[in-house]
A and B are shown apart, each in its own frame.
Chain A
Amino acid sequence: MTTKDMFSKNRISFDLKASNKDEVIKELIQLLYDDGKIIDKEKFREAVLKREEEFSTGIGMGIAIPHGKSNAVKEASIAFGRSNKGIDYESMDDKPANLFFLIAVPEESSDVHLKALSEISRKLMHTEIREKLFKVQSFEEFIKIFE
């Protein structure tokens, strides 16, 4: 299990349609659902929103990492989406977010997955990685960033 296995071609969108926070969460959840990673969309959405209530996962710098831990999740996985117009995500720096990583974690998950997630979280803090994420056009290019 390596970091990049957390992603899949089926769970990536380089042009999100959503125009607000609620929609973007729904759109990303749909990606996870269509790929069979979650079994109950509504239940998982509740977990994500509950987490957002504590404080927004819009960490600034154009990035948001909504995440939820729920038994509606079959297997730890991430959906990635990019919004080219930017979405108001109530981010810490009050700027719109463009890059979204929706992280789904089952109630009981292995350390391997959690370690991988922590690696990804750390990577996102680096400017050069964020810049690349803004530019990539294909899954192959995308996954290279995390290799």
Chain B
Amino acid sequence: MKLVAVTSCPTGIAHTYMAAEALQMAAKEMGHEIKVETQGSVGAENVITDQDLKEADAVIIAADTNVDTSRFVGKPMVEVSVKDAIKDAKGLINKALAVKPKERKADTKMPVVEKKEKTGVYKHLMTGVSFMIPFVVAGGLLIALGFAFGGIYVFDCPGTVAEALFVTGKGIFALMLPVLSGYIAYSIADRPGIAPGFIGGALASGSVFSGQFLANPLASGNSGFLGALITGFLAGYIVLGLKKVIKLPKTLEGLMPVLILPFLSVGIMGLIYLFILGRPLVAINTALLAWLKGLGGANAALLGAVLGCFMAFDMGGPFNKAAYVFGTGTIVAGGSPIMAAVMVAGMTPPLGIALASTVIAKNKFTEAEREAGKAAWALGVSFITEGAIPFAAADPLRVIPASMAGSAVAGALSMIFGRKLAVPHGGIWVLAIPNVVTNLGGYLIALVAGTIVSALILSVIKKPVTE
């Protein structure tokens, strides 16, 4: 068996390493392989790589500090205090190996598509987006609640709970673009990327006074989501560039992260944005917003349909995420029709499959698929498009077109009805909250129609199974 472990203690001087040694000795004696990452005062050493993780049968966290366990999700894992590893390393290893892996979302009997390693631009973008999502969710819900309590003129009722919720929601919205930009830069350049990334995002969002600077004389407004994406990448690469260019004598090296990098990178970021990038970006963003606002009738339906196709085409892959990121970027106070279309189109693929496999055309699905179909109901209503992946992987040529058709219908209908959604996620669970989606009835029609279209097509084109 192969294990990976992380040890860490508050001072990071002794126990971290003793626990690591104890685990290594115990593993050797028991005939297992183990790699122990020590997070001590010297920083992380012997860091667990993706390759190690892939091969590992179990994960041990022996720590009294906060160890980020997100990279171990899905692996059998035990979390204990660092002293438990010193006291009884063998017992701990046995315990880890006895843990059952957390249940996968879909049936494991189904073919599971191996997710490709996210790399490069895509990974940076997704890091930024994943850090941004909580801000959008909280902002969207709080603003919606503010409207629910205070009515449409909530900003005119000073001192009320409604206004407090509204203001808080607006506040967290204002942080959304800085966070996006900051964490894109963080993904590229690690911690030094955060400062220039944040200021870039803040400039783009208009939450610092770039508006006044840029408004005079050429453009007004902000460069929004688009601007924040660009400042994020720019900030990351500025830091990487500075790190390459600046060579300091050993004794001054300590100044790099605390003084030189922040000062230079933030300064450069500000100058580039305000003098070079700001105006064109603001102009593009303003034009884009105007275009989206002006979309009506057939054009809006077309955009919804295209977004729907994107959402269903690779179910959680780059196309899906591109549409999703676009949707989140359009959310403003009061909600976004694009986000509404994107979410509904992302819900219908698993729902359509669920409907086909558990109700309409049971005989065309294997026993295992029918079981997974039940799970697909839950995943679909929660806006987890990935719930459709096992089916798509098993029979892509039939499942993907059927899903795309359903999503296109759902997206187009949602756009035609002009539904607006104020949050970037949540499936049907958030719809119950007042003002999260405008005109709930229309939205549900889009959802049901998309689901039925997808399920019907799938039921017709799928071949009966011979079991």
Q: Is the CB of A51 within 8 A of B83?
A: no
State how many angstroms separate the Cβ of B8 from the closest Cβ of chain A. 12
A114 to B39, CA, bound (A): 12
For residue B20, CB closer than 8 A to chain A, the reply is yes
Given contacts A54-B64, A55-B83, A114-B41, contact A122 B13 (CB under 8 A): no
Contacts of B64 in A (CB 8 A): 54-55
For residue A39, CB closer than 8 A to chain B, the reply is no
A69 to B41, CA, bound (A): 11
Q: Which of A13-21, A25-33, A57-65 contacts B (4 or more CB under 8 A)?
A: A57-65
Q: Which residue of A lies closest to B82 (CB)?
A: A55
Q: Is the CB of B21 within 8 A of A51?
A: no
Query: B40's contact among A57, A65, A118, by CB below 8 Å, is which?
Result: A118
Query: B42's contact among A103, A111, A122, by CB below 8 Å, is which?
Result: A111
Interface residues of A in 99-124 (CB under 8 A from B): 103, 105, 111, 114-115, 117-119, 121-124
Given contacts A92-B83, A114-B40, A118-B38, contact A51 B10 (CB under 8 A): yes
For residue A126, CB closer than 8 A to chain B, the reply is yes
Interface residues of B in 27-47 (CB under 8 A from A): 38, 40-42
Q: Which residue of A lies closest to B84 (CB)?
A: A92
For residue B364, CB closer than 8 A to chain A, the reply is no
For residue B191, CB closer than 8 A to chain A, the reply is no
Given contacts A54-B64, A55-B81, A60-B86, contact A122 B41 (CB under 8 A): no
State how many angstroms separate the Cβ of B91 from the closest Cβ of chain A. 13
Given contacts A67-B14, A92-B83, A118-B17, contact A125 B25 (CB under 8 A): yes
Contacts of B21 in A (CB 8 A): 121-123, 125-126
State how many angstroms separate the Cβ of A73 from the closest Cβ of chain B. 12
Q: Is the CB of B13 within 8 A of A67?
A: yes
A60 to B88, CA, bound (A): 11
Given contacts A59-B86, A69-B13, contact A122 B20 (CB under 8 A): yes
Q: Is the CB of B25 within 8 A of A121?
A: no
Given contacts A121-B21, A122-B18, contact A103 B13 (CB under 8 A): yes
Interface string of A107-147 (1 = CB under 8 A from B): 00001001101110111111000000000000000000000
Q: Which residue of B lies closest to A69 (CB)?
A: B11
Q: Is the CB of A105 within 8 A of B13?
A: yes
Q: Which residue of A lies closest to B12 (CB)?
A: A114
Given contacts A60-B87, A126-B25, contact A67 B17 (CB under 8 A): no
A119 to B13, CA, bound (A): 10
Q: Which residue of B lies closest to A111 (CB)?
A: B42
For residue B16, CB closer than 8 A to chain A, the reply is yes
Q: Is the CB of A117 within 8 A of B13?
A: yes
State how many angstroms separate the Cβ of B251 from the closest Cβ of chain A. 12
Tier of interface size on chain B: 20 to 34
Tier of interface size on chain A: 20 to 34
State how many angstroms separate the Cβ of B188 from the closest Cβ of chain A. 26
Q: Is the CB of B42 within 8 A of A118?
A: yes
For residue A22, CB closer than 8 A to chain B, the reply is no
Contacts of A117 in B (CB 8 A): 13-14, 17
State how many angstroms separate the Cβ of B69 from the closest Cβ of chain A. 21
Contacts of A118 in B (CB 8 A): 13-14, 16-17, 38, 40, 42
State how many angstroms separate the Cβ of B445 from the closest Cβ of chain A. 59
State how many angstroms separate the Cβ of B149 from the closest Cβ of chain A. 45
A67 to B10, CA, bound (A): 11
Q: Is the CB of B83 within 8 A of A59?
A: yes
Contacts of A122 in B (CB 8 A): 17-18, 20-21
Given contacts A51-B10, A117-B13, A121-B13, contact A92 B87 (CB under 8 A): yes
Contacts of A121 in B (CB 8 A): 13-18, 21
State how many angstroms separate the Cβ of A27 from the closest Cβ of chain B. 19
A31 to B14, CA, bound (A): 20
Contacts of B18 in A (CB 8 A): 59, 65, 121-122, 124-125
Contacts of A105 in B (CB 8 A): 11, 13, 41
Contacts of B16 in A (CB 8 A): 118, 121
Given contacts A55-B81, A115-B42, contact A93 B87 (CB under 8 A): yes
A77 to B463, CA, bound (A): 75
Given contacts A59-B83, A93-B87, contact A114 B25 (CB under 8 A): no
For residue B440, CB closer than 8 A to chain A, the reply is no
Q: Is the CB of B22 within 8 A of A125?
A: yes
Contacts of B15 in A (CB 8 A): 57, 59, 121
State how many angstroms separate the Cβ of A112 from the closest Cβ of chain B. 9
A59 to B12, CA, bound (A): 15
A124 to B15, CA, bound (A): 11
Sample (22) of A-B pairs whose CB atoms are under 8 Å apart:
A51-B10, A55-B81, A55-B83, A57-B14, A57-B15, A59-B86, A59-B87, A65-B14, A67-B13, A92-B83, A93-B87, A114-B12, A114-B40, A114-B41, A114-B42, A121-B13, A121-B18, A122-B17, A122-B18, A125-B18, A126-B21, A126-B25
Q: A57-B14, A114-B13, A122-B17 are in contact. List 16 more A-B contacts (CB 8 A).
A: A54-B10, A59-B83, A67-B14, A69-B13, A92-B83, A103-B14, A105-B41, A111-B42, A117-B13, A117-B14, A118-B13, A118-B40, A121-B14, A121-B18, A123-B21, A126-B25
Nearest 6 Cβ contacts at the A-B interface: A122-B21, A118-B17, A121-B17, A125-B21, A121-B14, A114-B42
Chain A residues in contact with chain B, CB under 8 A? 51, 54-55, 57, 59-60, 65, 67, 69, 92-93, 103, 105, 111, 114-115, 117-119, 121-126
